[in-house]
Structure 1
Amino acid sequence: MEPFISKRDAAEHIRIARHRAGISWAQIAEQLGVAKEWSTAALLGSHALSAQQANLVKELLDLDDAVAEALQMQPYRGPLSEDVLTDPTIYRFQEAVMVYGPTIKELIHEEFGDGIMSAINFQLNVARRTDPEGDRVVVTFDGKFLDYKW
C-alpha cells in the first residue's frame, strides 16, 4: 500500500509545486472550472475535491498519488495549528471580526431578524480595487441567511 499523507502535508506539497511551476491559484481554478477562492481553499485543505479534480491538479502540478488521495478526503475545518492564528494576514481578519463582529451581528439582526449567515451555503470573493492612495483589498462574504426557528 502506498504511503498516506495528511491534508495539511498535501497543502504544503501543493504550495511548493505551484510555486515551482509558476502557476497562479487563479490558473488552477480555471483548469478546474471553479472559483479561485473555492479551489484555493480546497487545495489548502478546507474542502474535498472529486477524484477527477484531484487527478487534474496532480497532473497540472506533477504531484504524487498520495497528494491526490489527500485532496479527496473530507477535511477537518478550522485552524489545525497555532501558526495559522499568528499569521499576520489571517490575524488581521480575526482582528477585523473582533472589532466589527458585534456591529455585523447587530446589522444582520436589524436587516434580517434573528439568525445567522451560513458558512456552508457560502461564497467568498477576493478582488483588487485600485485607489490613488494604494490598492485596496476587497473581500466579500456572501452567505445565505438562516433564521432561528423557535
Structure 2
Amino acid sequence: MTKIEMTEAIIAAKITKGTSWAAIAEAGGLSEIFVTSACLGQNSLELDVAVKVTDFLGLDEKVAYALTICPMKAVDVETVSKDPLIYRFFEIAYVYGGSMKEIIHEKFGDGIMSAIDFKLDIDKEEDPKGDRVVVTMNGKFLPYKKW
C-alpha cells in the first residue's frame, strides 16, 4: 500500500465514521497536528499508535503498516501551493520571514529552529469581529557549530 492509498483509505474512513482529526489523534494518544500529518503521509507512527488509529477508523493492518513507514517528506510540493490556505503560509514566510530570522538571531544567535524537535498547535480564538486562527510553532533552537 502506498502512502497515497493509505491517506485515501484514512480520509474515506474518517468521512464514513463522521469523526474529526482531534478524535483520531485522541485514539492514537498523540497530538492532533502530528497524527493528521502522519495520516496525510508526511510523518510515521509507531506500530502501537498506528494500530490504535486504524482500529478507531475500522481499517486493516495494511493501513496500520503503511502508517509506520518513514515517508519521503514534501515530495508533493515542488512549487508554492495554489491552495489559498496553504499559500498564506508561504506568503507569511515571504513577508515576515526576514523579520523572523532577524529577531531569532538577535535573541538566540546564529542558528535555526528545529523542525524535528518541534511542536505545532492550532487553536480557535473567538472574536466578535471574526474568529481568529492561532498558530503556535515551538521548535528547539539549534546553534550553528563554529569550527
Length-normalised TM-score, structure 2 = 0.92
The corresponding residue for 2:34 is: 38
Which sections of structure 2, spanning at least 5 residues, go unmatched?
none
Note the aligned Cα RMSD (angstroms).
Answer: 1.6
CA contact (8 A) 1:29 1:36 kept: yes
Residue 18 of structure 1 deviates from its aligned partner by 0.4
Tell me if 1:139 matches 2:135.
yes
Q: How does 1:1-150 map to 2 (within 5 A)?
A: 5-81=1-77, 85-150=81-146
The number of equivalent residue pairs is 146
Of all paired residues, the percent bearing the same amino acid is 48
* Letter of the 1:32 counterpart: G
CA contact (8 A) 1:25 1:40 kept: yes
Which sections of structure 1, spanning at least 5 residues, go unmatched?
none
Tell me how far apart the structure 2 counterparts of residues 67 and 83 of structure 1 sit (CA, whole Å). Answer: 29
What SS does the aligned partner of 1:86 have? Answer: coil
Tell me how far apart the structure 2 counterparts of residues 74 and 149 of structure 1 sit (CA, whole Å). Answer: 28
CA contact (8 A) 1:79 1:85 kept: no
* Runs of 4+ off more than 4 Å: 81-84
Assess, with a 3 A threshold, how the Cα gap between structure 1 residues 81 and 107 changes in structure 2: closer, same or farther.
closer
CA contact (8 A) 1:14 1:61 kept: yes
Assess, with a 3 A threshold, how the Cα gap between structure 1 residues 83 and 12 changes in structure 2: closer, same or farther.
farther
Q: C-alpha deviations, 1:56-94, integer Å up to 9, x for none?
A: 222211223322221110011114156982222111111
| Range 81-90 or range 121-130, more displaced | 81-90
What SS does the aligned partner of 2:43 have? Answer: coil
CA contact (8 A) 2:80 2:90 kept: no
